[in-house]
Amino acid sequence: MARSTPVWGFTTKSRAIQRELINEVYVSEYFAPGAGDSPPQHRPYKALWDTGATNCVISRRVASELSLIPIGRVEVRGVGRGSKANLFETDAYLVNVGLPNKVELVGVRVSEGDVAGVDVLLGMDVISQGDFAISNRDGQTWWTFRIPSTARFDFVEEINRDKSRMGPDGIPLSRRERRKRERNRKRTGGRQD
C-alpha cells in the first residue's frame, strides 16, 4: 500500500484589500529535519509573496543574523529602468523556511539582495511547489497556499457550471429543472430550445 504524501497549507485573511501579500516566516540555515541533528537557530522575518520573482531572496540582515555561509555565487536579474535589466552577482545560500501553520520548506536556495520593506521575498521557486490563490471579496484580501498541489483552479469552468444551474431570468433552477435541461440538451445534441 502506497503511503500518501502529507498536504500542508495555510490561509491568511486580511480585513482590507492588500496590494502586498506579507506573512511572517521563520528562516534557518539548511538542516534535514528528522536526521537526528538538533535544529539550528531560526528567526522570524517578514516575507513578501512575489509571483514576478523567479527565485527567493533574503536580505543581508537575514544572512548576517543567522551567520549563513554562502554555497556559491549567482547572477541575479532584477527590475531596472526602462528596458534595461539590473544584472548583478551575489551570494547564494541554502535555507529552511517555515511558513504559517507549520508549513516547512526544506533546502530552499536563496540569493542575497535588497528587498524593500521586508527581509524575505518568496518567489515562483516556492510558489510553484504547490497551489497559491488570492481572493478579494467583500473588501478583504485572503490568500492561501498548500503544498503539494492537489487540484487545479479554473474560474471559467466554475462560472459556466454556475450559469448552467440558472434559468434565463437568473433564478437558480431546481434539481428537477436542471435534470430536465440536461436531458433536453442530450436529446438535442447540445442545442438549447
Residues 101 and 44 grouped into a single domain? yes
> Are both 119 and 181 inside the same structural domain?
no
- When pLDDT is averaged across residues 89-107 and rounded to a whole number, the result is 94
Q: Which neighbouring-strand residues pair with 147? A: 8
Q: Tell me the three state secondary structure of residue 104.
A: strand
Supply the mean pLDDT for the chain. Answer: 88
The larger pLDDT score, comparing residue 41 to residue 55, is at: 55
Q: What is the pLDDT confidence band of residue 15, given thresholds at 50, 70 and 90? A: very high
Same domain, 74 and 143: yes
State the first-to-last Cα distance of the chain, in angstroms, to the nearest integer.
51
Kindly report, residue by residue over 154-186, the tens digit of the pLDDT.
Answer: 888 887 887 777 777 778 778 888 788 788 878
Count of structural domains, the chain: 2
Please indicate, yes or no, whether residues 134 and 169 belong to a single structural domain of this protein.
no
C-alpha cell read off for 44:
522570524
DSSP 8-class letter at 172: B
| Domain encompassing residue 178 | 155-187
Cβ–Cβ under 8 Å, residues 59 and 113: yes
Q: How far is CA 129 from CA 4, 24, 156, in A?
A: 17, 19, 23
Assess if residue 57 is contained within a domain.
yes
| Same domain (yes/no): 39, 126 | yes
Q: Between 86 and 69, where is the model more confident?
A: 69
29, part of any domain: yes
Q: Assess whether pLDDT exceeds 80 at residue 135.
A: yes
Rounded Cα distance between 124 and 51, Å, is 6
Nearest to 97 by CA among 148, 147, 47: 47
- pLDDT at position 1 is 44
* Per-residue model confidence (pLDDT) at position 82: 63
Total-model pTM: 0.80
Q: In Å, how far from its chain's centre is CA 192?
A: 40
